[in-house]
Amino acid sequence: MSSGGSKKAVLAAMLANLGIAVAKLVAFVITRSSSMLAESVHSLADTGNQILLMFGASRAKKEATPLHPFGYSRERYFWAFVVAIILFTLGAMFAMYEGVEKMLDPHEIESPQWAIGTLLIAVALESWSFRTAMRESAELRGDATWAQFIRRSKVPELPIVLLEDSGALVGLMVALVAIILSIVTGNGVWDGVGSFVIGSLLFVIALVLAIEMKSLLIGEAADPVVEEQIILAIEESEPVVSLIHLRTEHLGPEDLLVVAKVEFNGDLIMRDLADSVDQVEANIRARVPEARLLFIEPDVRREYPQGPPLEAIIPEP
C-alpha cells in the first residue's frame, strides 16, 4: 500500500480528534467532570500526534545528502516514537494525576446531560476515524490478525492511529460509565476512578507503541514472505550458482536495504559478471519494488569446519 492510505487515515484521525477535543473542553467547563477533562487532554494529545505523524511523513521525502546518503525515510519512525512519548507524558500521566486528585477530593458533576451528550458525539466521530484506519489498513494486513499487523507493520502511522482510536473508544466508554455511576450513586469519586482508568489505558498504549517504534528505529528485517521473494529473484537468475547469505533492513516503509553475497558462474569474465549483478538487481526490484538500495557482492561458497567467521556473514561497510 502506498503512503496515501496512511495519510488519509492520519488526516481523518486528526480532524475527528480536533472536533472531539473542542467538544470535550466545552463540556468540561460546564460539568467540571474529571473524566471529561482527561478525555479532552487525550484528544488534544492525539490531535498533536497526528500533526507530528504528517510532519514526519513530509520530512521523510527529503532527498539524500552526503551526510545522510540513504535518505531520511527513518524520520517517519522517529516522529512516531515521539508520538508514543507524548501520549505517555501528556496523555497518560495527566489523566492519572487528575484521577488521583479527584478521588482524594471528589465533587458532584454539574450538568451531566452535557457530559453524556458530548461523549456520545465523540463516540460517533472516533468510530468514523477508526473505521477509516481499518479500511486503509486492510490491504496491508492481509490474512494477519490485527495484533500481528500492529506488531509486524513497517508503516508506523497506521498502527498508531488504530491503537489511538481503539484506545479512545474504550476511554470514552470508561468515561461514560464513570459519569453515570457518579450520577446514580451521588459519589463523585467514580469520576476520578474513570480518569485514572483512562490514564492507565493510555499508558499501556504508549508503552506498546514505544516498543514497536523503537524496534523500527533500530532496524527491522523485511517480512519472511518478502525475503522469500528476494531469494527467489536471486536464485532464478541464470548466472547465479547459489545465494550465500542475505541481509535486509527497512530504512522506511517503502525503503528496503538488501545486502547479499551471491556465488556466480566461475567462467564469467568481469563485464559479464557486472551484467549478471545488474540482472539480479533488476529481478529483485521486479518482485519487491521497495527494495530501493541493493548491494550484491559476488563471492564463492567456502566450507568452514568451525563455522563461518563474522566477516563472512556480515558484509564490510
pLDDT per residue as tens digits for the range 245-287: 999 999 988 899 999 999 999 888 999 999 999 999 999 999 9
Same domain, 13 and 156: yes
Highest mean pLDDT among 121-135, 213-227, 294-308: 213-227
Burial of 28 (0-12, 13-18, 19+ CB in 10 A): buried
- From the list 291, 200, 282, the residue with the least C-alpha distance to 254 is 291
- The pLDDT tens digits for 148-201 are 888 888 888 888 888 888 888 898 899 889 888 988 888 888 988 988 998 898
Grid cell 519512525 in the structure block, residue:
77
pLDDT digits (tens, 9 = 90+) for 60-97: 888 889 998 888 889 999 998 998 888 777 778 888 88
CATH number for 130: 1.20.1510.10
In this model, does residue 5 exceed pLDDT 70?
no
Structurally, how many domains does the chain consist of? 2
- Residue 295: closest CA among 261, 259, 250, 248: 259
Q: How confident is the model at residue 18 (pLDDT cuts 50, 70, 90)?
A: confident
* Residue in the structure block whose three cell numbers are 556466480: 264
Residue 256, φ and ψ in degrees, nearest 5: -110, 125
Q: Is the confidence at residue 313, as pLDDT, over 90?
A: no
Question: Based on the domain organization, do 125 and 63 belong to the same domain?
Answer: yes
The grid cell for 90 is 501528556
Same-domain check for residues 189 and 228: no
For 240, the domain range is 224-313
Confidence bin at 4 (pLDDT 50/70/90):
low
149 with 189, same domain: the answer is yes
Mean pLDDT over 296-301 rounds to: 90
125 compared with 42, residue with greater pLDDT = 125
Paired with 260 in beta bridges are 246, 296
Which residue, 290, 210, 13, 140, is CA-closest to 148? 140
Q: At 278, which amino acid appears?
A: D
With bands split at pLDDT 50, 70 and 90, how would you rate the model's confidence at 2?
A: very low
Q: Of 173 and 110, which is predicted with more confidence?
A: 173
User: In whole numbers, what is the pLDDT of the chain averaged over residues?
Assistant: 84
The predicted model scores a pTM of 0.76
| Ramachandran quadrant class, 186 (left: phi over 0; alpha: psi -120 to 50; beta: rest) | left
Residue 302 grid cell: 567456502
Nine cell digits for residue 1: 500500500
CB 79 within 8 A of CB 252: no
Residues counted in the chain: 317
CA atoms within 13 Å, Cβ hemisphere of 4: 3
Do 196 and 238 lie in one domain? The reply is: no
Q: What is the pLDDT of residue 317?
A: 43
Give the end of a domain, one of 188, 218, 248.
218
